[in-house]
Chains A and B, each alone.
Chain A
Amino acid sequence: GQNIDQPTEMTATEGAIVQINCTYQTSGFNGLFWYQQHAGEAPTFLSYNVLDGLEEKGRFSSFLSRSKGYSYLLLKELQMKDSASYLCAVINSNYQLIWGAGTKLIIKP
């Protein structure tokens, strides 16, 4: 089967750094997405990785290792507004998008 694993919930402190991991077992790989979803709102695109390495975009960075089937989303200088669910999704060899169940991130003052 195809599977995406993410922690169900994480807690971090305002101003700190948090790393949300995503491991995947899929039939092939054609890219990986991270989306952010605030409670009661639409998921919104954060990042896309298709090659190994780190992609930085402001306070958010996304890392990919295809050989390890592993990605992480790194959030720096955490703000209260970063409290949200973070969804990892992988494009397999059939160009199907396989989703993780999401990680709920709670930011405490």
Chain B
Amino acid sequence: ETGVTQTPRHLVMGMTNKKSLKCEQHLGHNAMYWYKQSAKKPLELMFVYSLEERVENNSVPSRFSPECPNSSHLFLHLHTLQPEDSALYLCASSQAPDSTGELFFGEGSRLTVL
């Protein structure tokens, strides 16, 4: 496999459920990101990991919990979400976390919170 792979592609969950989104990159990159994409809104950066350490957390509610066990894998654990959290969640990777390099995105996980 190549590139950035996200699973699941679609997820429907209730507000009391616990679920996780998974991201895997096969590019040998050192930085990984979670973005939230809502219709007609700019991409919102949620978390940045560089060499498995979290380097940025943009005031994201604690109901979103990231995990980066190694440089190739990134998870987003979801718990007691709200309907306004329904969106496309995009994972991305890059060679370095300083925003000057090209981002490689996965196809996203479309989340619907009922």
List A residues at the B interface (Cβ < 8 Å): 4, 8, 30-31, 33, 35, 40-45, 48, 87, 89, 91, 95-102
Contact = CB atoms under 8 A, between A and B. Distances in A.
A8 B99 contact: no
Contact of A97 (B40, B45, B104, B105): B45
A44 B92 CA distance: 11
Given A43-B90, A95-B99, A96-B99, A101 B107 contact: no
A42 B4 contact: yes
Given A43-B105, A44-B105, A99-B42, 16 more contacts: A4-B42, A8-B40, A31-B100, A33-B102, A42-B90, A43-B103, A45-B102, A45-B103, A45-B104, A48-B102, A87-B43, A96-B45, A97-B99, A98-B42, A99-B43, A102-B40
Contacts of B45: 96-97
B43 A30 contact: no
Nearest to B91: A42
A33 B41 CA distance: 17
B98 A41 contact: no
Nearest to B40: A101
B66 interface: no
Given A8-B40, A101-B40, A101-B41, A30 B107 contact: no
A91 B42 CA distance: 14
Interface string B34-75: 000000111101000000000000000000000000000000
Contacts of B98: 95
Interface string B81-114: 0000000001000000011101111111000000
A96 B56 CA distance: 10
A91 B100 contact: yes
Closest CB pairs A-B (n = 7): A42-B105, A99-B42, A99-B43, A97-B99, A45-B102, A42-B107, A95-B99
A71 B103 CA distance: 19
Contacts of B43: 87, 89, 99
B40 A42 contact: no
Given A8-B40, A99-B43, A42 B99 contact: no
